Amino acid sequence: MAVVGIGHAIIDLFVQAEGELISELGLDPGSMTLIDDSTSREVLAHLSVLKASSGGSAANTLAGVSSLGGATYFVGALGNDQFANNYRDDLEDVGIVFIDNSLDLGASNTGHCIVIVTPDGQRTMLTHLGASIHVLDSVPNIDLGHDAIVCYVEGYLLDSPSGGQNIEAMFSKEIAGVEYAFSLSDRTLVQRRKPQIWELIKGGGISILFGNEDEFLELCDSNDLLGAVEKVGAYVGEGAITLGAKGSFVFSRDQEPIVVPAAQIEVVDTTGAGDLFAAGYLYAREKGYPSYERARMGNICASEVISHFGARPLVELSTLVAKAF
C-alpha cells in the first residue's frame, strides 16, 4: 500500500505580522491568493522572512504519511533553481519518492508561497505558482506496482492550466487497486472552481473527500453541515471535514456522521493543519482502523504541526501516535 500525492511543489516563506497587514493587503484572513512574481517581490520587500521551508499541500500530507511509516510518492514540478534542489533534498530526507511530471524544459523558478502568520496562529497565503503549474501538463502515471494505492490530489491543482481536465481524465480511468482522495484546499478556490469540483464529485471517481467546514459549506451553498454532507455523500463514499479547534467530522456510507474532538494544544501556526490531518486519516485508513480512529489520528498529527512554525512535522509522527494507539 502506498500514498501517491499530486500537488504544487512550493517553497513556503514564513513571516509574522499583525492582523492589520492582512487587511492592508486586502486579503481574506486564512485564505490563499495567487500572485505574480513582481507582486511577490513588492510584498517581500516590506517583510522579513522568519523561515523558508518546503511546503505544498499534498507534499505536506505525504511528509506526514512518511513520518508515520507509510510508503509515499510525490508528483510535482520544480524550476531550475536552488529552491528546486532544496525541495528535492527535503523530499528525499523524509523518504518521499519524487516523480517530476513537468514537460517544461525551460528555465523557470520554483513556486513559492508567502505565509503570513498572525498572533492568533492563523495563516494567510500569497502563492506564486511558478514552475509548479506544470505538474499536470500531462496525466501522470500513478500505476506504481503497489497492490493498493491511494492517490491524493490537492484541489489547488484546479488553478493549473490543464489541472481540471487531467484530474478528470485520471479520476475517470479505473485502475485496479487505485482509489482517489481529493482535498477542497481553500474556500476561495471552491468559490472559483465550484462547477469543476462538482463535475469531479458527480463523476463518481472520488473515494475520500477532505475539506474544512467553510469549504464544504461553500461547495454546497449552504449553512448546514449535515445537509452539505448529505448532498456530497450521494456521490462520495467517505469524507472528513475538519472543524479547527472543534476537531473533525467524518462521514461514510456505512454509518452516521461522527465528530471527533481535537487534541488540546497551544496553537502557534495553523499552516498545514488540514494537510497533516489528512496524513493521519489516510495512514490510519491504510492500517484498517475505523472512521473514528482515522479522524483521531488525523487530529493528533494536525496538533503536532500547529504547535510550531512550518507545515511539516518536526517529530517522528510514528512515535507520537504510538502513545495514543
Ligand X SMILES: Nc1ncnc2c1ncn2[C@@H]1O[C@H](COP(=O)(O)OP(=O)(O)OP(=O)(O)O)[C@@H](O)[C@H]1O
Binding site for ligand X (CB under 6 A): 123, 212, 242-245, 247-248, 262-263, 265, 267, 270-275, 277, 299, 302-303, 306
Residue 277 binding result from ligand KDG, ligand X, none, given CB thresholds of 5 to 8 Å by partner type = ligand X
Q: Which C-beta is closer to ligand X: that of 32 or that of 151?
A: 32
Closest distance to ligand KDG from the beta carbon of 290 (Å): 26
Q: How far is the CB of 275 from ligand KDG (least distance, A)?
A: 5
Question: What does 217 interact with, of ligand KDG, ligand X, none (CB < 5 to 8 A by kind)?
Answer: none
Q: What are phi and psi of 238, to 5 degrees?
A: -155, 145
Nearer to ligand KDG, 12 or 304 (CB): 12
List, as own/partner pairs, every contact residues 96-101 make where C-beta atoms lie below 8 angstroms and the sequence separation is at least 24, other chains included.
96/59, 96/62, 96/63, 96/66, 96/72, 97/72, 97/73, 98/73, 98/74, 99/73, 99/74, 99/75, 99/140, 100/76, 101/6, 101/75, 101/76, 101/77, 101/134, 101/135, 101/136, 101/137, 101/138, 101/140
Query: Interface residues with ligand KDG (CB under 6 A)?
Result: 10, 12, 55-57, 60, 113, 123, 125, 271-272, 274-275, 311
- Bridge partner list, 66: none
Contacted by 12, from ligand KDG, ligand X, none: CB < 5 to 8 Å by type: ligand KDG
Partner from ligand X, ligand KDG, none contacting 60, C-beta within 5 to 8 A by type: ligand KDG
Looking at the Cβ atoms of 111 and 244, the one nearer to ligand X is 244
Contact partner at residue 166 from ligand KDG, ligand X, none, CB < 5 to 8 Å by partner kind: none
Q: Least distance from C-beta 129 to ligand X, angstroms?
A: 17
The alpha helices in the chain, defined as continuous H runs, are 19-24, 37-45, 57-68, 82-93, 163-172, 187-192, 194-202, 213-219, 225-233, 273-286, 291-305, 317-322
Count of C-beta atoms within a 10 Å radius of residue 158: 20
* Shortest distance in whole angstroms from residue 283 CB to ligand KDG: 18
> What H or E segment, with its residue span, contains residue 75?
strand 71-76
| CB closer to ligand KDG out of 70 and 272 | 272
